[in-house]
Amino acid sequence: EAFGGTFHIAEGYAELARAYAEAATGELPSVPPSEIYCHSLTDPTILGPELVAQGYQTLTLFGLHTPARLFGHDNQGAREVLLTGTLAQLDAHLAEPITDCLAFDADGRPCIEAKTPLDLERELRLPGGHIFHRDLSWPYAQDQGAAGRWGVGTPYANVLLCGAGAVRGGGVSGVPGHNAAMAVLGH
């Protein structure tokens, strides 16, 4: 049941402050905070019927306080260090080690796909691997400039930005879409 929603690891105030401070000094967080989702519990169609019948599940983990600049020197090495630390944090909250629960592919490798911000930028064109396309600035824009009152304006007439890259961001909240509609309506 823990994985039916969002599972937060090492996200207490002190843990987040420590991870932020470490990242600010150029170090990977020693206790990596993360959010984990088990999408297959609510949508089993993301797996094939054979895997569902065998009881397989998926986990998606978002690591926090891991900006792209921490991976520039050794992307592969940093990925491994962070993966090891993150699995250790997960194990601290589980009855059995996560590695004992992993599926393995035909070649005997664990079915884990770990992506760094640099990987996400290269493969998905996310700027800096940032899922929100940039740091959020809610509730106030530092410089309204072209973004305007609702944070969705661009330098181009009649073009509004209503996705995660809008000044006020919003992730999956729909806030940028709402704000774009309000701008169109002239509110």
38-50 pLDDT, tens digit per residue, is 889 888 899 999 9
pLDDT at 36 over 70: yes
Domain containing 140 equals: 132-187
Across 84-90, average pLDDT: 93
d(CA 181, CA 165) in angstroms, rounded, equals 16
101-146 pLDDT, tens digit per residue, is 999 999 999 999 999 999 999 999 888 998 877 766 655 556 656 6
Task: Say how many domains are in the chain.
Answer: 2
Which residue type occupies 9? I
Q: Which two tokens stand for residue 38?
A: 């088990």
109 and 171 inside one domain: no
d(CA 119, CA 81) in angstroms, rounded, equals 15
147-165 pLDDT, tens digit per residue, is 788 888 888 888 988 887 7
Question: What's the mean pLDDT when you consider all of the chain?
Answer: 88
125 and 149 inside one domain: no
pTM listed for this prediction: 0.77
74 and 85 inside one domain: yes
30 and 87 inside one domain: yes
41 and 88 inside one domain: yes
Cα diameter, the chain: 59
48 and 81 inside one domain: yes
61 and 149 inside one domain: no
